[in-house]
Structure 1
Amino acid sequence: MRKVLSLLMILSGLSIFFYPAAKDYYTSYNQEKMIEKWEDSSSQENKVAAESLRELEEVFSIETQAESIVDEVPPVEKEESEESPASDSTEANQITSPGMVGVIEIDKIGLKLPILNGASDANLDKGAGLLEGTPAPGMPGNSAIAAHRNRAYGSMFNRLDEISKGDTVTVRDKGNTYQYEVYETLVVEPHETSVLNGSQDEKVLTLITCTPIDTATHRLIVKAKIKP
């Protein structure tokens, strides 16, 4: 009996001695797992954003083809019809669909466009598109917004090349207005994914379109940081 009690006392002492170390190890283990999960999540978002950029190149490819067609085919006059008002109403309903996440405005170039969720061909026919895998404007990270830039789709980002350092870009959602100050403009190759890089410590807006406007061989990038 004494041996059993002695053994229990020894085990109790050891457990008291090792408990803080075991607790520290367990806490550290959980922290490492949380960090790994967070890093994996960030990595996955980066992969989604990169894939979205690749899909955007397909859309811009369609844009270039459409530009060629516009140059070759004369415009067709629209016939008047009693159904025209209904068609206009349908188009308006499409533009204000649930996929719309906000509005982008740049006073310097007279720009005001709806921002839709995703930079698909259908969305970019209507306005600007927020690339999948990038945060909504006003949120930490790098929010990437793309739009067409040629005669086939109206003005869109046609005058984006007039933007320079210090200019203001305004983005509105239903509850907030965010103002960004341009700090850099650059021209990159179509598949340059570094323009999507971001950090949770800052709120950056990246605008993407084609350049030159007639051949679309490169991408015009405008980078802006949110104003305090």
Structure 2
Amino acid sequence: MTKWKKWLSTLLIIAGIGIMAFPIGNKLYINYWNQRLLAAYDNELMLNEEAPPMAESDFLALQAIYENNDALNETSNEAETTEVENVENTTESTTVVETTEAATEKPKTVDKSVIGKIKISKIDLIMPVLMGATEKNLNRGAAVISGTSDFGVIGNVGIAGHRGRSYGIFFNRLDEIEQGDIIEVTTNNTVYKYTVYETLIVEPTEVSVLYRNDKDKILTLVTCDPVKNPTHRLIIHALQNP
């Protein structure tokens, strides 16, 4: 009985350590992908890539993704060792021939969905921006909502992001944004600056926040609210500076 109790105590200690270590590991994993994609973009690996064509708006599809946001923060983030979808840097193996030749390496490649980065100095935010608000993209950065406008033109471009429970992760601090704050988006070798004019809390089905008019260049940020057990959406509206 005593031996059984010792084993049980050991297992409980190990489990406790794992639970305490998870938030740290989760934050490191998220930071890893943020820095990796930002570095790739800054190295101009993606500056000249053509973005995928816009599909019908997937704003409503975000509901299911945001409903699973808690699961994202509670489940372990295993290393994606089997992923081969253009994100991993590939190296060609050494070829054995009759005459000795040096190993050759393929150029580094990055997921073609990476189209830029978003910066909000007030909340110390810099994130990669990817095309398409899929769960995979939202787990790595901010994502343009398909079906919304292009940057730099009259219309309304929507960018969605998760709100991690850890302070400063993803759009966690977006509720600190106020009227007059500046948002910068870099894409296509251009820096677009927007001034916030409105913040809203809306129902998940309120798609009117992405409506456009015939005169303004609008940026709309979308995230879940509150952080835990989200029931609504936090909306940030900003106008492109002249």
| TM-score normalised according to structure 2 size | 0.62
Which residue number corresponds to residue 191 of structure 1? 205
Provide Cα deviations, 1:95-147, integer angstroms capped at 9, x if missing partner.
x4211111110000000111111000011011001001011222220000000
Q: Which has the larger helix fraction?
A: 1
1:171–1:177 Cα contact (<8 Å) kept = yes
1:145 & 1:194 partners in 2: Cα distance? 15
For the pair 1:128 / 2:131, whether they are aligned, the reply is no
**What CA distance in whole angstroms lies between the structure 2 residues aligned with 1:150 and 1:162?**
15
Paired-residue identity, %? 40
* Aligned residues of 1:66 and 1:152 also touching (Cα < 8 A): no
Structure 2 residue 65 is matched with structure 1 residue 63: no
Mapping of 1:32-51 within 5 angstroms? 48-49=56-57
Could you list the runs of 5+ residues in structure 2 that have no partner in the other structure?
1-53, 82-86, 91-107
Aligned amino acid, residue 103 of structure 1 = K
Whole-angstrom distance in 2 between the partners of 1:137 and 1:76: 32
* In 2: Cα distance, 1:77 partner to 1:55 partner: 25
* Residues 91 and 195 of structure 1: CA distance in aligned 2, closer, same or farther (over 3 Å): farther
Instruction: Report the counterpart of residue 94 of structure 2 in structure 1.
Output: none
- Aligned match of 1:90: 88
Structural RMSD (CA): 2.8
Q: How far 1:210 moved relative to its partner?
A: 0.7
Alpha-carbon distance in 1 for matches of 2:233, 2:170: 15
Residue 218, structure 1, aligned to residue 232, structure 2: yes
Residues 217 and 170 (structure 1), Cα distance of their counterparts in 2 relative to 1, 3 Å cut = same
Structure with greater Cα Rg: 1
Count of equivalent residues? 166
Which letter maps to 1:90? Answer: E
Unaligned runs of 5+ in 1: 1-44, 84-88
Aligned residue in 2 for 1:22: none
Offset at 1:76?
9.2
Aligned to 1:54: 60
Q: Deviations over 1:136-195 (max 9, x none)?
A: 222220000000002379701000000000000000113211100000001001110110
Query: Following TM superposition, by how much is the alpha carbon of 1:65 offset from its aligned partner in structure 2, in angstroms?
Result: 2.8
Note if contact 1:125-1:153 (Cα within 8 Å) is conserved in structure 2: no
| Distance 1:199-1:176 versus aligned 2 partners, 3 A rule | same
